[in-house]
Amino acid sequence: MHLMYFTEQPMSAYPEQEGRDFGATALMFSNRYFDPVAGSQLYNEYLEHYRLAEEVGFDGIMLNEHHNAPFCMQAKCNVFASILAAMTKRVKLVLLGNPLPLADNPVRLAEELAMIDMISRGRLVSGFVRGGGQEQLAAGVNPAYNRERFEEAHALIVKAWTQTGPFRWEGTHYQHRVVNPWAVPLQKPHPRVWIPGVLSKETIVWAAKQRYPYIALSTEIEATKKIWELYDQVAKETGYAGGPEYRGYLQRCHVAETEEKALANARQFMWMQGEFTGLAHPVWSSPSGYFSPSYRTAFVEYAVGRRSNPRGAAFEDQIRNQQIVAGTPKTVIPKLRRLLEETRPSIVGFWASDGFVSTEDTKTCIRLLGQEVLPALRDIGKELGLWSPFEANAPTSINFSEPARLKDPSR
């Protein structure tokens, strides 16, 4: 198993009522409410948590980024990855990930990632995402070409990593006279790419066709099973067998010394799910052209307030269906066993706390996970044969599947 620590890096230090009054805590919610003194303090606390996560035995640190929103302070995951590349020694740095469509120069991303891979001595896992709907607006990037830009930027980055330059790139959305980055990754053929997602079938199909592990972001167990059904079916059509090494899951999981405390802190997971921050604006979160055409009816109705967010569910429901797991190590282990038995992932991210959970409680949670929960999960993983891509020595991608390269990685 590959067990990772994750935090959204919440920016809890802002006047809560202002967000409620404005009605949305994203995109247009004014950054006059951002407090850089608190920001500086929080960034450094998060670094401390990452260091502790490595110390107590996590295999990886999962990083992400968001823009114009207090639920996530990390505006550039490559910045934290760079710091952690030098600060940590053992953990994988799992970026889930860089929002490719937001990049106007993917070659620069390829360079940054290559540098992180070399500085960390080959510990980079470079996930890619489409970015949220409102992030297209925050970056001024056309939502109607989101998926096209994602796919083209990905092809360009992989080519920059794996084929010697100089070469020229004349694409639909990117044109580069000379691609010849001096920095290339340490890992060969290139750093592993994992693809996180929550809603779009298109992304699952794309990841399976690339033979990239897909990381389901806190979906409920039944929905997660459907994801793996689809993934495995596409894998079979593509010519390989899906399985645990292609399956990841991000679990909201808070552990404390007592049930009561764990549950109270877990309630803070709702913090970014709209209880007071993460108040999504229905139009900004789903700009036209961004979402899958198969969801058009649902999203236009959501945009004018005729149905609730197709992504949301209540706290009690999420505790019941295990989208949120909370308790003492003793009580969460059986719940996590159920997750592993029913959905068979080999990669599990622990989203350990959120919102106003104190730094002390977060550190306790990280310690208890490391000392008591992770060893138990490793045993269960062995028992169930949940071998991670590293343990299974899974190929990096469909284009680098042993024994021979199947086709040009730029295609």
Partner 1 sequence: MTPSPVAWRAESLPVAGIALHLAAAGRGAPVLVLHHDIGRPEPSPFDDALAGRCSVLAPSHPGYDRSSRPDWMRSVRDVAVVYQWLLGERDLARDLTVVGLGFGGWIAAEMATMAPRAFKRLVLVGAMGLKPERGEIADQALVSYIDYVRRGFADQRAFDRLFGAEPATAQLEQWDLNREMTFRIAWKPYMYNPTLPHLLGGVATPALIVWGRDDRIVPLECAERYQKALPHARLEIVENAGHFVDMEQPDVLAQLVARFVAEA
Q: Are strands 167-170 and 175-179 parallel, antiparallel or unpaired?
A: antiparallel
> CA-CA distance, 124 to 85, in Å (whole number)?
8
Residue 299 found at the interface with partner 1 (CB under 8 A): yes
Q: Among 156, 73, 71, which residue's Cα sits nearest to residue 108?
A: 156
Choice from 57, 97, 99, 143 touching partner 1 (CB under 8 A): 143
One character per residue 91-130, x = contact with partner 1 (rule: CB under 8 A): ----------------------------------------
Residue 283 found at the interface with partner 1 (CB under 8 A): yes
> CA-CA distance, 302 to 361, in Å (whole number)?
37
> CA-CA distance, 149 to 171, in Å (whole number)?
10
Residue 300 found at the interface with partner 1 (CB under 8 A): yes
Residue 308 found at the interface with partner 1 (CB under 8 A): no
Residue 296 found at the interface with partner 1 (CB under 8 A): yes
> CA-CA distance, 182 to 179, in Å (whole number)?
10
Comparison of 19 and 243: residue with beta carbon closer to partner 1: 19
Number of residues that bind partner 1 (CB under 8 A): 21
Q: How far is the CB of 260 from partner 1 (least distance, A)?
A: 42
Q: How far is the CB of 133 from partner 1 (least distance, A)?
A: 10
Choice from 282, 329, 355, 409 touching partner 1 (CB under 8 A): 282
> CA-CA distance, 396 to 192, in Å (whole number)?
5
Residue 28 found at the interface with partner 1 (CB under 8 A): yes
Q: Please say whether the beta carbons of 98 and 129 come within 8 A.
A: yes
> CA-CA distance, 214 to 77, in Å (whole number)?
19
Question: Which DSSP state fits 373?
Answer: I
> CA-CA distance, 177 to 162, in Å (whole number)?
18
CA 121 to chain CA centroid, Å, is 22
Q: How far is the CB of 302 from partner 1 (least distance, A)?
A: 10
Q: How far is the CB of 298 from partner 1 (least distance, A)?
A: 10
Comparison of 126 and 285: residue with beta carbon closer to partner 1: 285
Choice from 37, 241, 304, 404 touching partner 1 (CB under 8 A): 304
Preceding amide of 189 cis, omega within 30 = yes
Region binding partner 1 by CB under 8 A among candidate stretches 90-98, 174-182, 249-257, 295-303: 295-303
Nearest-5° Cα angle at 203, 106 to 58:
80
> CA-CA distance, 404 to 400, in Å (whole number)?
7
Choice from 40, 288, 294, 393 touching partner 1 (CB under 8 A): 288
Choice from 62, 102, 137, 340 touching partner 1 (CB under 8 A): 137
Provide the binding-site residues for partner 1, judged by CB under 8 A: 28, 137, 140, 142-145, 282-284, 287-289, 296-297, 299-301, 303-304, 306
